[in-house]
Amino acid sequence: MADYDLVVRGGEVATGFGTARCDIGIRDGRIAALAERITDAAATLEAGGLLVLPGGIDSHCHIEEPARGGYVGTVGEPVVTVSEESFVTASTSAFAGGTTSVVCFVPQWKGEGLLPRLADYERRAARGMLDYSFHQIITDPTEAVLEREVPQIVAKGIRSLKVFLTYEPLHLSDEDYIKVLVAARRNGCLVTVHCENYAAIKWRTERLIAAGMSAPKYHAWSRPSVVEREATHRAIALAELVDQPIQVFHVSCEEAAEEIARARHRGLKVWGETCPQYLTLTAEDMDRPGFEGAAFMCSPSPRSREEHARVWEMIRRGTLDIVSSDHCGFSMAGDKGKAVSGRDAPFRDIPNGIPGLAARLPILFSEGVSKGRISLDDFVRLTATNPARLMGLAPRKGLIAVGADADLALWDPAKKVTISNRLMQHAIDYTPYEGLEVTGWPVATVRRGAVVMRDGVVQAEPGTGRFLPRGPYEMVRPRGVLANGFDAAPAG
Ligand code: URP
Ligand code: ZN
Ligand code: ZN
């Protein structure tokens, strides 16, 4: 019998501290050896000098998530949206883009507890091929939820609670947000926060629509940077009050990132995530004829080219330390997705969110590494190592090291590709990145030692994805200092 099940031969392996030309020996789904030459393997994946990166970890993805009031601003009876992306189609898309693990969202509907919907979501997720974990959304923090159910979900290895400071009917009052922070602190969870000011957006939305300004482009007008900055400040201040670590999701602008930078400077445990849409799309994209602009509608709204440069700077400084996709599966055609309230609906009633699971790594690599804005080490940290640490998945995930799961992306840094919806291999009928030219593309993906994508062809058996019970988060501090958040060691 061979020593190894698979050897990845002759790649430039991204260690997080530069690259090393070596072979990777894989046994039982894990990396068993890194050596100059490994010969005794049952199968070989020839890397031929290409980069070998840790498989991407996308710690902010909405997949097959039944949402009541699904990310719309509606004030009336909320619509129910189900992302058109299943865990099977999302897995295909993720593998096509070099991503091997996701953290997605278990919904809570107001008036309900957590556990029945968690059981439903566990069934959905188990059908996919990706490895996965969950954030638990809290929209109704009753005593029963916080006192009885949160400890139960934490015992299952779900170590982050997600709250929204906007959206109807998902948003929490300050009082309820504090209650969630307290419960998280008691149970050793991270809190992840959507930071926009609900009342301010509602006030502007009502006036815009009353004035007949209801086309998709007015979505951006309804939520300028100040509403994000204010909510980011408040989210951090209240977390400081409770002494509870938080991650600010999808930071779109310098103003909000500065709030995070100030907090970190003062030693607070705050992390910032941004997404490719805030580095490539602009509010002008929503100014397309008719309903077309809805294809770019997400919250916070895409901003401007000048803002992209400022967000890059915040990435370079380490203030924004994770890049996720915030993948959301609403198609443009049909009556389930973006058009759930009709193609003439005011922007308020169009579901927010755009797909980006497969596009995340190529866009960040191309716009970041290929264009010289960040180093390869930065790329690895932003897309794999930092999410693994913050989500309590390290050292099993997020790095190429002996003992880690053999999750790899074989990457051609010189390959030029024009992004198209076909290449995304998702169940959604468009990509907001159509026509974007990128340099750098995944040519193979390995998940726990199995080659699940080769030259764009995904082959993986549905139901082979594994739930990842998570340990406590690790704190990746500014300037790279690392400390454990809690006494317990991260889960293996
Ligand atoms: O517009 C967005 N971002 N939709 C997905 C839900 C969320 O806010 O993260
Ligand atoms: Zn959000
Ligand atoms: Zn999201």
pLDDT for residue 475: 52
pLDDT band at 147 (very low <50, low <70, confident <90, very high): very high
- Counting every residue, how long is the chain? 492
Listed by start position, the domains of the chain span: 6-55+398-454
Domain 6-55+398-454, CATH number (from 1.10.10.410, 2.100.10.30, 2.30.40.10, 3.40.50.1820):
2.30.40.10
Would the pLDDT of 100 be above 70?
yes
Q: Reduced to 3 states, what is the DSSP secondary structure of residue 102?
A: strand
pLDDT for residue 77: 59
Calpha distance 459→92 (Å, rounded): 8
Measure 71 CA to ligand 1 centroid, in angstroms. Answer: 6
> pLDDT tens, 114-137?
999 999 999 999 999 999 999 999
Which residues have C-beta under 5 Å from ligand 3, the single-atom ion? 326
* Residues near ligand 1 (Cβ within 6 A): 62, 71, 194, 250, 298-299, 326, 328, 352-353
What share of the chain has pLDDT > 70, as a percent?
Answer: 93
* Residues 464, 469, 473: CA angle, nearest 5 degrees: 135
Cβ pair 321, 55 in contact under 8 A: no
Residue nearest to atom 5 of ligand 1 (CA): 353
Neighbouring-strand partners of residue 476:
482
Would the pLDDT of 488 be above 90?
no
pLDDT for residue 248: 98
Averaged pLDDT score across all residues of the chain: 93
pLDDT for residue 471: 81
* Residues 97, 100, 102: CA angle, nearest 5 degrees: 100
Residue nearest to atom 8 of ligand 1 (CA): 299
Q: Which residue has the higher pLDDT, 53 or 77?
A: 53
Say which ligand is closest to the CA of 71. Answer: 1
pLDDT for residue 84: 79
Mutation probe of ligand 1 site: the residue of 198, 298, 327 with most atoms within 8 A of C-beta: 298
Closest ligand 1 atom to the C-alpha of 298?
1
Closest ligand 1 atom to the C-alpha of 299?
1
β-strand 437-447 against 99-106: which pairing, if any? Answer: unpaired
> pLDDT tens, 279-329?
999 999 999 999 999 999 999 999 999 999 999 999 999 999 999 999 998
Write the burial class of residue 29 (CB in 10 Å: 0-12 exposed, 13-18 middle, 19+ buried).
middle
Mutation probe of ligand 1 site: the residue of 59, 60, 62 with most atoms within 8 A of C-beta: 62
* Tokens standing for residue 375: 């180093």
What share of the chain has pLDDT > 90, as a percent?
Answer: 89
Q: What is the pLDDT averaged over residues 259-288?
A: 97
DSSP-assigned letter for residue 331: -
**Residue 119 burial (CB count, 10 A):** 10
Helices 254-265, 225-242: axis angle to 10 degrees equals 20
Measure 302 CA to ligand 2 centroid, in angstroms. Answer: 13
Closest ligand 1 atom to the C-alpha of 62?
5
Q: If we measure between CA atoms, which residue out of 400, 390, 252, 258 comes closest to residue 321?
A: 390
Spatial neighbors of 374 by CB under 8 A, at least 6 apart, are 312, 315, 316, 368, 382
> pLDDT tens, 209-254?
999 999 999 999 999 999 999 999 999 999 999 999 999 999 999 9
> pLDDT tens, 464-485?
999 999 987 765 443 333 333 3
Cβ pair 300, 254 in contact under 8 A: no
Mutation probe of ligand 1 site: the residue of 299, 322, 330, 340 with most atoms within 8 A of C-beta: 299
Reported pTM: 0.95
**Range among 89-93, 266-270, 485-489 with highest mean pLDDT value:** 89-93
pLDDT band at 168 (very low <50, low <70, confident <90, very high): confident
Cβ pair 301, 223 in contact under 8 A: yes
pLDDT for residue 340: 87
pLDDT for residue 185: 95
Would the pLDDT of 21 be above 80?
yes
